[in-house]
Amino acid sequence: MNKHDYLAQLQVAIEQLHDCAATRLKTVPVHENFQGKTVWKGDVEVFDLHYHQKAKRCYAWSHLDGENDERTGFVVVLEIPPVESAATAVRVQIVKDVKSGKS
């Protein structure tokens, strides 16, 4: 999948999930380490949100999902404290995944 199609899919996922318009702002590379080991590394897409009740911005990325990585899953994290950047969005999602047993 090319970058343009990927970004379009992320935008649709954000708009459907949060029932608001979204405009892509930029790409931010994030590399999260824990105890000297990489726990997450990738690009996070930053979107401005229009007409959302609680957030003006969100952070989004995709990952392979399913027992055999046969599906693409999307992660969307709203910029609501404690989330204030792409890096904190990734950290919050990692904690959420660990608590739910996904990671």
Residue numbers of the domain that contains 69: 3-100
Structural domains counted in the chain: 1
The predicted pLDDT at position 71 comes to 82
> Residue 55: exposed, middle, or buried by beta-carbon count in 10 A (0-12, 13-18, 19+)?
middle
Per-residue pLDDT of the chain (103 residues; tens, 9 = 90+): 799 999 999 999 999 999 999 999 999 999 999 899 999 999 999 999 999 999 999 999 998 776 776 788 899 999 999 999 999 999 999 999 888 887 6
The DSSP output letter for 80 is -
